[in-house]
Chain A
Amino acid sequence: MNIYVINGPNINLLGTREPEIYGSETLEDIEKKCLEQGVKDGHIIKFMQSNYEGEIVEWIQNAIKEKVDAIVINAAAYTHTSIAIHDALKSFSGFKIELHISNPHLRETFRHVSYISPAVDAVIAGLGPNGYSHVIELLNNLNSQRIGKLA
């Protein structure tokens, strides 16, 4: 499978930004684990991070063009604001998973609304940094089952 793992704003600060919420692992650590899991399962994984909304939209459009099989997206703060990312994800017909390291619903009320959730197949939150590699591990099962109403 071809998989895009897309990370949004401030995730590049992981490990230094509020480690009591997000943990001490860095984005490079997470990327390494994802790529290792990908090699194990025979996936081609593109791991990306951007602080720019438009760039994330372009990556999703690129995924559509390249017929990528799955997107794992942690849109971070754009989760709660971006209709543009919502729209782009709607146009992507592969399997898509929204991921958050912490559980936004347990935090400030302004994090309780997600424009991403209605546009994806599945939502995962609060499993910590290892949520990424666990999800990639599961994508083999998901591919054969093709869960979700977009099936």
Chain B
Amino acid sequence: MEFNQLMNNNKLLIINGPGLSDLSNFNDYGYEDLTLKKLQKKCLETCKSLGIDLDFFQTDDQSELYEKLSDGLEGFDALIINPVGYSHASKLDLDVYNSNIKTSAIKNKPVIEVHIANIFQDGESVSEPVIVAKSDVGFICGLGVNSYELAIRSIHEKLNQN
């Protein structure tokens, strides 16, 4: 029984993009003392309680990010991605990012884009929309650590519906 449960565990990949190794700049948003390690711990706890195997990944290196996106998705059932920088400074190559997200969405794998803070606040002009991935993905921002929590729960539900 336990062996079967182990075999049936869904595999989730969480990718954190460039800059998220240091979360101290979220102090302004009221997330004092938030570290990547704390975030990872919380995600692992939630996944464990739901019977999900989690690979929690972070890189400050763009090419490594693309590599993970294109190669790494093969063994996973779902993806949660915090792409950070692209929404502000367009540091990421959007075409590469979007096509990779699209590939996983086409394979019917749930994808949710998350952000810790509300990326639409603070001087973002309402007439200039932030570009998000152009495929079938969910979107969550502004719930802090709970952005991840909500994403994991939604994905868990989605995977168990199929």
Contacts and interface: CB of A to CB of B under 8 A. Distances in A.
Interface of A: 97, 103, 105-106, 112-115, 117-118, 120-128, 130-131, 134-135, 137-138, 141-142, 145-149, 151
A142 B30 contact: no
Interface residues of B, number: 37
Nearest to B138: A126
B127 A118 contact: no
B143 A117 contact: no
Chain B at the A interface: SS class: loop
Interface stretch (B17-25, B69-77, B145-153): B145-153
Contact of A112 (B124, B129, B150): B129
B111 to A, nearest CB: 9
A2 B65 CA distance: 42
B1 interface: no
Given A113-B127, A127-B154, A151 B30 contact: yes
Interface of B: 28-31, 112, 118, 120-122, 124, 126-127, 129-147, 149-150, 153-154, 157-158
B141 A147 contact: no
A115 B127 CA distance: 9
Contacts of B146: 138, 141-142, 145, 147
